[in-house]
């Protein structure tokens, strides 16, 4: 039996008509959203409509009210935002502010625990490689310990008496270390010198002179004598002469400062032998600390 030469053409026409009908049927019967109870059209190639489709992929956005699926949604509790990138689980609001860190922030701070200052109650970022922020880390170079006492230095680098840094090879700062050269002891009350280098005279804060325990104003005038003026019997006469000279010099300076002339001239009170006040009128002793007047204690006499 011979085949009709028209059969291939008829078959081709029938196939084309079937395809056209199928295409028309696809337009009138678009797939619906796969979310239960949702009858909106799906966004092909996704199985879900625009409201239920993830904004970053074709997966379902989930039931949390977020526009993202679990793989693209921030994992912080109750957060609906998109993750900050493919390498982190958190959005920009919940990701550690450290650029290279992908961990979640700690508490109300902006950094994760590994990048948050460890000082109690502080949420600031750590400073460098230490455990503390700039405000709580010791200010000593290359020291990463915590600052103490509300100051800027740790226990190892701060003065034992205050929050200032201590001097090298000392436990005390400049204000609390003895001003005597190479001495690292703490100063006495109302003095710049320690108990060893402060004058032993009562109420005197001047430095002791040489190997003596008295300052220049209270030490015997004899260079080799280490006793105080009031207790040195062998040199009593020399000490009395020095004291009298100091009084005359102090009286002369007082008179010239008031604009008065010599004794007996107008405006000059007569010298009645009344000793001047030691704390006010004693002349500076030679070699005494600059800016500090020498003190002559009349109690020694």
Radius of gyration in angstroms for the set of CA atoms belonging to the chain, rounded to a whole number: 47
Dihedrals phi, psi of 146, to nearest 5 degrees: -80, 135
Q: What is the mean pLDDT of residues 30-41?
A: 89
- What is the model's pLDDT at position 257? 56
- What is the model's pLDDT at position 179? 87
* Buried-exposed string 105-140: b where 16+ CB fall within 10 A, e elsewhere: beeebbbbeebbbebeeeebbbeeebbbbeebbbeb
- How many Cβ atoms sit within 10 Å of the Cβ of residue 104? 19
List pLDDT tens digits, range 133-171: 989 999 888 888 999 878 889 988 888 888 888 888 888
> pTM for the whole thing?
0.48
Angle (nearest 5°) at CA 121 between 115 and 126: 25
Tell me how far apart the alpha carbons of residues 288 and 294 are, in angstroms, rounded to a whole number: 7
Q: Are 48 and 34 a contacting pair, CB within 8 Å?
A: yes
Find where tokens 């170079």 sit.
141
- Kindly report the average pLDDT of the chain as a whole number: 76
Q: What is the mean pLDDT of residues 165-185?
A: 86
Query: For 298, which DSSP code?
Result: G
- What is the model's pLDDT at position 266? 41
- What is the model's pLDDT at position 48? 92
Q: How do the domains of the chain map onto residue ranges?
A: 214-259+274-301
Up-side HSE of residue 19: CA atoms within 13 Å toward CB?
6
Residue with the larger pLDDT of the pair 3 and 284: 3
- What is the model's pLDDT at position 256? 64
List pLDDT tens digits, range 257-284: 554 444 444 444 444 333 333 333 333 3
Tell me how far apart the alpha carbons of residues 177 and 172 are, in angstroms, rounded to a whole number: 5
Tell me how far apart the alpha carbons of residues 296 and 284 are, in angstroms, rounded to a whole number: 10
| Top mean-pLDDT range of 82-91, 193-202, 231-240 | 82-91
Tell me how far apart the alpha carbons of residues 46 and 65 are, in angstroms, rounded to a whole number: 18
List pLDDT tens digits, range 51-78: 999 998 999 997 678 899 999 999 998 8
List pLDDT tens digits, range 213-231: 888 888 888 888 888 877 7
Tell me how far apart the alpha carbons of residues 158 and 138 are, in angstroms, rounded to a whole number: 9
- What is the model's pLDDT at position 131? 92
Residue with the larger pLDDT of the pair 279 and 119: 119
From residue 239, alpha-carbon distances to 4, 78, 221, 279, 291 in Å are: 154, 90, 6, 18, 24
Q: What is the mean pLDDT of residues 15-20?
A: 42
Query: pLDDT grade, residue 184 (50/70/90)?
Result: confident
pLDDT at 34 over 60: yes
Angle (nearest 5°) at CA 75 between 73 and 79: 75
* Buried-exposed string 56-65: b where 16+ CB fall within 10 A, e elsewhere: eeebbbbeee
Find where tokens 């002891």 sit.
185
Percent of the chain with pLDDT over 70: 75
- What is the model's pLDDT at position 89? 93
Query: pLDDT grade, residue 29 (50/70/90)?
Result: low
- What is the model's pLDDT at position 202? 84
- What is the model's pLDDT at position 83? 92
Tell me how far apart the alpha carbons of residues 298 and 294 are, in angstroms, rounded to a whole number: 13
- What is the model's pLDDT at position 176? 87
């Amino acid at each position: 039996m011979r085949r009709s030469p028209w059969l291939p053409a008829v078959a081709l026409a029938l196939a084309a008509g079937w395809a056209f009908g199928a295409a028309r049927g696809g337009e009138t019967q678009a797939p619906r959203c796969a979310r239960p109870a949702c009858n909106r059209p799906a966004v092909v190639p996704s199985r879900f409509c625009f409201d239920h489709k993830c904004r970053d992929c074709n997966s379902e956005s989930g039931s949390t009210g977020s526009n993202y699926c679990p793989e693209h949604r921030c994992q912080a509790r109750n957060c609906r935002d998109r993750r900050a990138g493919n390498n982190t689980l958190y959005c920009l609001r919940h990701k550690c502010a450290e650029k290279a860190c992908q961990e979640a922030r700690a508490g109300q701070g902006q950094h994760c625990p590994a990048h948050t200052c460890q000082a109690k109650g502080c949420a600031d970022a750590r400073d460098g490689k230490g455990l503390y922020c700039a405000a709580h880390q010791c200010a000593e170079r290359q020291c990463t310990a915590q600052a103490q006492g509300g100051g800027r230095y740790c226990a190892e680098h701060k003065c034992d008496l205050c929050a200032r840094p201590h001097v090298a090879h000392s436990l005390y700062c400049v204000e609390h270390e003895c001003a005597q050269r190479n001495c690292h002891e703490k100063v006495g009350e109302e003095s710049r010198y320690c108990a060893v280098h402060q004058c032993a005279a009562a109420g005197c804060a001047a430095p002791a002179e040489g190997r003596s325990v008295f300052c220049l104003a209270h030490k015997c005038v004899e260079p080799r004598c280490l006793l105080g003026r009031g207790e040195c019997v062998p040199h009593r006469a020399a000490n009395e002469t020095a004291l009298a000279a100091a009084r005359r010099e102090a009286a002369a300076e007082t008179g010239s400062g008031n604009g008065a002339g010599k004794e007996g001239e107008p405006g000059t009170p007569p010298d009645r032998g009344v000793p001047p006040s030691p704390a006010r009128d004693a002349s500076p002793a030679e070699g005494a600390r600059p800016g500090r007047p020498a003190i002559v204690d009349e109690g020694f006499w």
